[in-house]
Chains A and B, each alone.
Chain A
Amino acid sequence: MSSHYEAPIREPLVLGEKSYQDISADVAAPVLGKANKSWWIVFTIALIAFLWGLGCIIYTVSTGIGVWGLNKTVGWAWDITNFVWWVGIGHAGTLISAVLLLFRQKWRMAVNRSAEAMTIFAVVQAGLFPIIHMGRPWLAYWVLPIPNQFGSLWVNFNSPLLWDVFAISTYLSISLVFWWTGLLPDFAMIRDKTKSPFQKKIYGILSFGWSGRVKDWQRFEEVSLVLAGLATPLVLSVHTIVSFDFATSVVPGWHSTIYPPYFVAGAIFSGFAMVQTLLIIMRKVSNLENYITIVHIEYMNKVILLTGGIVTVAYATEYFVMWYSGVPYEDYTYLSYGAATGPYWWAFWALIICNFVVPMTLWVKKLRRNIIWTFIVALVINIGMWFERFNIIVVNITKDRLTSSWTMFQPTFIDIGTFVGTIGFFFVLFLLYARTFPVIAQAEVKTILKSSGEKFKNLRAKHGNDVSHVRALDGGPVVEKPVASQNVVSDKAKVDSLLSTIGTFNPDVEEQDDLKLINGVGPVMEQKLHQIGIFTFDQVSRMTDREYDLLDEIVSEFPGRAKRDDWAGQALILKNNK
């Protein structure tokens, strides 16, 4: 197929000699199998952290916000820092699944499912903070414009905090349906693959009765594309609206028009760092190294490098404009005792080192393709981006216009415990996801197997891109050889006699083997064997001279081939090694 042409310069995205069956099997393996010991250990740790955080939240809500380290000057600190941090992390998922879909980036397919999951779990964590940082969270429903008994008292639509409510809830719900719709074919695959009746039932419900009709697929692709088109401006708008919490204020250091794009770039930056952190572990634990390859890691590092560069330019711009503005408060915030040399100098320099200096190493190709270094850089960025939000929020308000209101901020154990709790909750959700969901969009990966799979790229390299190689790949158009195919059908008696000794294939209980592994069987021959009804090594291994002759009579193109290559002997070895 000419549509499978891909420039040879592109590195394969699916490694190994994978077939469509292999992809489903590899993706389904963690779901169908059992969790190992290390999974339980990590899960337990995450669960404990989550429960501790839950305790902190309950304590805060029942005792009062005063248990946090906030004071009269610093009304927002860890709560909103964590909120923005989590929302930012959530942005990479939609970026990968939506923006990269619009740009037709094939490499997104192996990572988008997990990135979307990460989005949803991160937004859930983020969504906790706007509620628990309220003084009276039980009245949180007042932020909704619901008709009520107070003469119908409405909300004020001028506030960015209300825009946040709309932005975050739209973002979470749209991401959720986008993710779920993409999951339907994969749930269906597990439903049809599993042998356990319980799993069959559960995945039958989850897959919404997906059958894979051609019309369904047509609509599915259109829905994905439109949702991607909607999600892309959504991603940009959500973090823009989050940045409005600060940018629309009058606080020096917050009031800045650069915030919307700068926050979005930072969100993608930190989000990709988190995707790297999670996927580098997951590809190892779930044996998905053939799908999440070093190429994927390198591409994500390039996005990190780009967005990290944008963030750095934003820092420089802020500094320049501060000096250029001639406003003494702005000047103070940034230069004097504000950020770089003030009491929070360490937070400022942590930001510069983590977000600018360390990611710069990714310009070096060797380091960009080094998994361990990538993992370290990703962790460092996660820390650095937390400090970025901390600096923006806390450092700017500790020293505002009136010197009499200057103060410092000190977090309490409850602040820290709540944050740790959300990290625990995030990993609880992610670990459960990794055990029960198909973590790679297998239906999507199958569409790129022929264009970007290693096996097919090698075949193309050997045989060229034109018709001849198509035949090698696909078994070729059988109609072009009417004589041979006519034989297959008219020789029904011979076929029956052949199958009577080597056995018939029952698709319900048996799985077919890749007959091409037998030396001498190519794709065309495999196609012929399938037409006759030979699908397994077991069948081939029972062939004797009589069957070889029958085969030669039925398929006249390769006389004597089977005998020369000793297919039965080869198949026996393959069968036993299976």
Chain B
Amino acid sequence: MAAKKIHAIYTDDDLLLQAVNQTRAAKYHISEIFTPFPVHGLDHALGLAPTRLAITSFLYGLCGLTVAVLMMNYMMIQDWPQNIGGKPSFTFYQNMPTFIPIMFELTVFFAGHLMVITFYMRSKLWPFRKAENPDPRTTDAHFLMEVDVDNHDVETLSEFLYDTGASEISLIENEQDH
């Protein structure tokens, strides 16, 4: 982790997007961006890999479906194959129409909840977790781009960021300081 970083604050999302493109073209490394709302195309401009949460959700849904089928097959067909109102309880297949509502609900239940929990885990979101946005204004109307200084000259880098339209630029000496 680079010790020195530059925080450049922008006041407009289009300006930020343009600045990200310029900064990346100039081969500076952007380590993080904090925005108050989802700026469409920003992840693309930054070259972030797409998220795989939708895939996990699909797999969780399959788990839910499996749980529902195994549960109802065991309880209704294997364990107590009772005659309830003349419904055929000889095989799972014969009585399946009445199992469909719960098969559907459990699929959705697992797919939704486990995906959300995965999201909270991956993005490290939970109660009592400290917020890490370096400037409180970034949840309101400001956009903060964090650029690694590395071996670049601080003066040139800040001048470059000035030119991209940053309204405030500050040098952060140490990760732990802010």
Contacts and interface: CB of A to CB of B under 8 A. Distances in A.
Interface of A: 1, 3, 19-21, 24, 145, 152-158, 160, 162-163, 166-167, 170, 173-174, 177-178, 181, 184-185, 188-189, 191-193, 204-223, 225-227, 230-231, 233-234, 237, 240-241, 244, 442-444, 446-447, 450, 470, 473-475, 477-479, 482, 485-486, 488-489, 507, 527, 530-531
A191 B162 contact: no
Contacts, number: 244
Interface of B: 11-15, 17-18, 22, 32-43, 46, 48, 50-51, 53-54, 57, 71-72, 75-76, 79-80, 82, 84-85, 87, 95, 98-99, 101-102, 104-106, 108-109, 111-113, 115-116, 119-120, 122-133, 135-141, 159, 162-168
The 8 A-B residue pairs whose C-beta atoms are closest, nearest first, are: A209-B129, A20-B141, A192-B136, A530-B167, A208-B125, A154-B75, A446-B37, A211-B133
A220 B46 CA distance: 17
A489 B124 CA distance: 39
A210 B139 CA distance: 9
B150 to A, nearest CB: 20
A134 to B, nearest CB: 20
Contact of A217 (B38, B53, B104): B38
Contacts of A177: 112-113, 116
B11 to A, nearest CB: 7
A145 B84 CA distance: 17
26 contacts: A3-B41, A24-B140, A145-B71, A154-B75, A154-B76, A155-B75, A157-B102, A178-B112, A188-B133, A188-B139, A189-B36, A192-B139, A193-B140, A209-B125, A210-B139, A212-B138, A214-B35, A215-B123, A220-B38, A222-B53, A237-B108, A240-B101, A450-B14, A474-B14, A485-B162, A527-B11
Contact of A219 (B11, B111, B119): B119
Contacts of B51: 218-219, 222
Contacts of B34: 211-214
Contacts of B106: 166, 170
Nearest to A156: B84
B79 A152 contact: yes
Contacts of A211: 34, 131-133, 138
Contact of B129 (A208, A217, A219): A208
Given A157-B102, A178-B112, A226-B115, 6 more contacts: A157-B98, A158-B95, A163-B101, A212-B36, A218-B51, A222-B53
A475 B16 CA distance: 12
A204 B129 CA distance: 8
Interface centre among B14, B128, B135 (most CB of A within 10 A): B14
Given A177-B116, A214-B33, A217-B43, A244 B133 contact: no
Contacts of B116: 177, 181, 223, 227
A443 B37 contact: yes
B38 A443 contact: yes
Nearest to B95: A158
